[in-house]
Amino acid sequence: MKQIEPIIVFKKASKVFPTAEGGENEVLKDLDLTIGRGRIFGIVGLSGAGKSTLIRLINQLERLTSGTLLIDGQDVTRQHDGDLINLRRHIGMIFQNFNLMRNSNVFENIAFPLRITNYTKDYIENRVNELLDTVGLKEHAQSYPLKLSGGQKQRVAIARALALHPDILLCDEATSALDPRTAKSILDLLKSVNSDLGVTVIIVTHDMSVIKYICDDVAVLDGGEIVEQGLVADIFANPQSLIKTFLHGFGGGQV
Ligand SMILES: Nc1ncnc2c1ncn2[C@@H]1O[C@H](COP(=O)(O)OP(=O)(O)O)[C@@H](O)[C@H]1O
Ligand SMILES: [Mg+2]
């Protein structure tokens, strides 16, 4: 089997949030996790398991309380704010609720990261058209988000996330607000982003069918710890406790 090169490595990573009552909520506990370059890596867990926190640590929207996080071999926990801007350029992110600018059309939503990075007008025009093509929205360049379906909105968000040629795409419940058929088409798009552009895709979801459909690897997060991890094919062939709950329990809608 081909050797997998790590792109993201958490070592003994902990994240503690203060609670409203003045206590501490340890959301991630001494977590060790390695994500390979070029993989589609799924992180699955129940609501409140710490999935969004984990993904927000990767682009340093949250900082670790203790432990280390290496991205591309660099210890980002020691980086200063100026370096983080550079880090975030290499990491795109999409969300369940799309987070589009409602007063800007599709073209301008996708152009946004390019404009704030001071690219020329011509470069931006070309790059946005290329991205519109990638996500299949050429005819909608002038449309406003309000006029788009959920699937189209997520395509805009994906194009925007890819604008600066990221190495990593973080997806936080990206298909959870979509109907099954639309969800599948978005997952197919993410598959081609991975295979055609070589982007490492990290999928956070509470939906096992998403993991099964698209991921190479899966880690199960429960109580702030990884309780099960491996190749999706192996895990589904021999599921342990929490995965069994997922497979036989509620939710987990079909994709
Ligand atoms: N900014 C924050 N401040 C305080 N507590 C937080 C913050 N973000 C998340 N939490 C807490 O961390 C836990 C995990 O949340 P989250 O990472 O959103 O879980 P998931 O995405 O798996 O549903 C929850 O108990 C939540 O209340
Ligand atoms: Mg979440």
Ligand 1 closest atom vs CA 51: 22
- Measuring CA to CA, which residue among 31, 173, 206 is closest to residue 94? 173
Q: What is the pLDDT of residue 248?
A: 63
Share of the chain above pLDDT 90, in %: 83
Confidence (pLDDT) at 238:
86
Q: Report the residue count for the chain.
A: 255
- pLDDT value at position 62? 94
Q: What is the per-residue pLDDT across 112-126, written as a single tens digit (0 to 9) for each?
A: 999 999 999 999 999
Q: What is the pLDDT of residue 89?
A: 86
Integer Cα distance of 204 and 173 in angstroms: 6
Q: Is 206 in the pocket of ligand 1 (CB under 6 A)?
A: no
What does the pLDDT read at residue 34? Answer: 97
Q: What are phi and psi of 6, to 5 degrees?
A: -70, 140
Question: How many CA atoms, within 13 angstroms, populate the side-chain half-sphere of residue 52?
Answer: 9
The rounded Å distance from CA 171 to ligand 2 centre is 10
Q: Which atom of ligand 1 is nearest to the CA of 55?
A: 17
Residue nearest to atom 17 of ligand 1 (CA): 50
Distance 56 CA to ligand 2 centre (A): 10
Each residue of 3-47: pLDDT tens digit? 789 999 999 999 999 999 999 999 999 999 999 999 999 999 988
Q: Which residues sit opposite 172 in a β-bridge?
A: 95, 204
Alpha-carbon distance of 152 to 159, in angstroms, equals 11
Given this model, what pLDDT does residue 1 score?
Answer: 58
pLDDT at 82: 79
Taking the CA of residue 221 as reference, the ligand 1 atom at the shortest distance is 22
Report domain extents, the chain. Answer: 1-90+169-255, 98-165
* Ranges under pLDDT 50 in the chain: 251-255
Superfamily of domain 1-90+169-255: P-loop containing nucleotide triphosphate hydrolases (3.40.50.300)
Residue nearest to atom 1 of ligand 1 (CA): 17
